[in-house]
């Protein structure tokens, strides 16, 4: 095998020839047919974040690997578009043995914090926690899909039929929109999601300027190969629930969801997913819906297969001898060895800090986010200590 050459470029230095090769490399393998691996997604993110970089790997004159990342302080990488990129990792040729572990080392990066890792090689995944991403394949037709899901979850779909009758009884107009172009719907969805972040104490990843600019750029992306789609449910003209999804040729990826508390008794979020899947089954276009990992009831009830997805840290070295990296390693060790409640607090704190570090690119925003996260962690530790003492 020829020696692999690596380059790490700023996006303004990437030529159109490289972009063409990126498209070809991505399109050659079905595993990358998710909107988060689309070159246009990386390009749009790079337009609003100055820390975006494109890693390249060549065997001879052949480009065998491309990896868009954010190069963060401390020679550390974050997924491109994080915290929004639910799938990430390098895009590799089927003809190369290059691993992500070696790719990171080749572009001068110590490691990457990951939460939606696409498994591709055992070496890079040794320390990752692997879960199942919930997928819905409706290519066999709507009746067949519902027949299968109804057999698996009869109580849920009996409940959905009852709730559908209740909606028809209580509202004169029940309207589902598969491609909602209304600015008010979009604004309401974002408002509700940000309210949810505030209510639950999570970092508001939608509050940054670059995130708002990215959403605006995506709303103007109308290519059916890669685009944003807003699906929604309205009851008597009032917003009940909506979901913002990203779409590739074959996959619709669930992204940002919210529903109105006033309509919770009708499970409007479930109906948005159910109506969307029916539309997908009956239209030309993508036939697979990706709801991501987790056991939310709607994900369980509408999924008919799963794909492995990893979270954790992918390293180019077993342990980088830097104070910040050693601290991170020690923190994760504590998560694994401490008693249950303290371990849960540490995991929650790390996830909050990860969200701050990946989304806040200005020092002021980082300091505020880290301060808020530390206060919540201190309060949680006090609660855990009090519980343990009783």
Question: Do 155 and 61 belong together in one domain?
Answer: no
Beta bridge partners of 111: 76, 315
Question: Do 340 and 232 belong together in one domain?
Answer: no
Question: Do 73 and 93 belong together in one domain?
Answer: yes
Question: Do 118 and 161 belong together in one domain?
Answer: no
Range of the domain at 11: 4-123
Single pTM value for the model: 0.86
8 A C-beta contact, residue 68 and residue 54 = yes
pLDDT tens profile 145-191: 999 999 999 999 999 999 999 999 999 999 999 999 999 999 999 99
Highest mean pLDDT range out of 230-234, 342-346, 347-351? 230-234
DSSP letter for each residue of 239-255: EEEEEEEEE-SSEEEEE
Q: Which band of pLDDT confidence, cut at 50, 70 and 90, is reported for residue 200?
A: confident
CA angle 333, 335, 339 (to 5 degrees): 120
Of 123, 154, 169, which residue sits at a domain end?
Answer: 123
Question: Do 117 and 158 belong together in one domain?
Answer: no
Higher pLDDT, 11 or 204: 11
Residue 389 lies in a domain: no
Question: Do 284 and 174 belong together in one domain?
Answer: yes
Question: Do 114 and 184 belong together in one domain?
Answer: no
pLDDT tens profile 303-315: 999 999 999 889 8
Of 263, 282, 308, which residue sits at a domain end?
Answer: 308
pLDDT tens profile 355-374: 667 777 776 766 666 666 55
Which CATH number is 271's domain given?
Answer: 3.40.630.30
Question: Do 12 and 104 belong together in one domain?
Answer: yes
Residue 66 lies in a domain: yes
pLDDT at 123: 79
Q: How many domains does the chain have?
A: 3
Question: Do 189 and 101 belong together in one domain?
Answer: no
CA pair distance 249, 224, nearest whole angstrom: 7
Question: Do 172 and 85 belong together in one domain?
Answer: no
pLDDT at 36: 97
């Amino acid at each position: 095998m020829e020696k692999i050459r690596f380059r790490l470029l700023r996006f303004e230095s990437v030529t159109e020839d490289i972009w063409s090769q990126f498209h070809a490399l991505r399109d050659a393998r079905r595993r990358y047919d998710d909107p988060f691996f689309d070159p246009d997604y990386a390009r749009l993110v790079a337009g609003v974040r100055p820390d975006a970089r494109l890693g390249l790997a060549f065997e001879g004159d052949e480009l065998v690997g491309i990896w868009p990342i954010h190069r963060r302080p401390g020679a550390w990488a974050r997924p491109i578009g994080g915290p929004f990129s639910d799938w990430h990792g390098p895009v590799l040729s089927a003809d190369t043995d290059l691993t992500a572990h070696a790719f990171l080392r080749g572009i001068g990066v110590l490691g990457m914090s990951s939460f939606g890792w696409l498994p591709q090689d055992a070496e890079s995944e040794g320390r990752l926690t692997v879960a199942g991403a919930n997928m819905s394949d409706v290519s066999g037709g709507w009746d067949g899909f519902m027949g299968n899901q109804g057999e698996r979850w009869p109580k849920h779909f009996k409940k959905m039929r009852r709730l559908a009758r209740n909606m028809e009884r209580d509202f004169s107009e029940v309207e589902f929109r598969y491609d909602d172009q209304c600015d008010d719907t979009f604004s309401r969805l974002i408002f509700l999601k940000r309210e949810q972040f505030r209510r639950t104490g999570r970092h508001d990843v939608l509050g940054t300027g670059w995130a708002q600019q990215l959403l605006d750029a995506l709303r103007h992306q109308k290519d059916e190969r890669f685009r944003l789609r807003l699906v929604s449910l309205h009851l008597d003209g009032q917003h009940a629930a909506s979901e913002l999804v990203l779409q590739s040729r074959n996959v619709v990826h669930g992204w940002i969801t919210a529903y109105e508390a006033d309509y919770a008794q009708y499970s409007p979020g479930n109906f948005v997913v159910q109506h969307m899947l029916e539309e997908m089954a009956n239209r030309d276009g993508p036939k697979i819906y990706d709801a991501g990992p987790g056991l939310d009831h709607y994900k369980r009830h509408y999924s008919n297969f799963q794909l492995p997805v990893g979270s954790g840290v992918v390293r180019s070295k077993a342990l980088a001898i830097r104070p910040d990296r050693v601290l991170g390693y020690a923190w994760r060790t504590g998560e694994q060895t401490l008693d249950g409640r303290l371990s849960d607090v540490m995991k929650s704190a790390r996830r909050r800090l990860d969200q701050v570090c990946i989304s806040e690119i200005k020092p002021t925003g980082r300091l505020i986010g880290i301060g808020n996260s530390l206060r919540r962690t201190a309060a949680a530790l006090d609660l855990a200590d009090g519980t343990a003492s009783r």
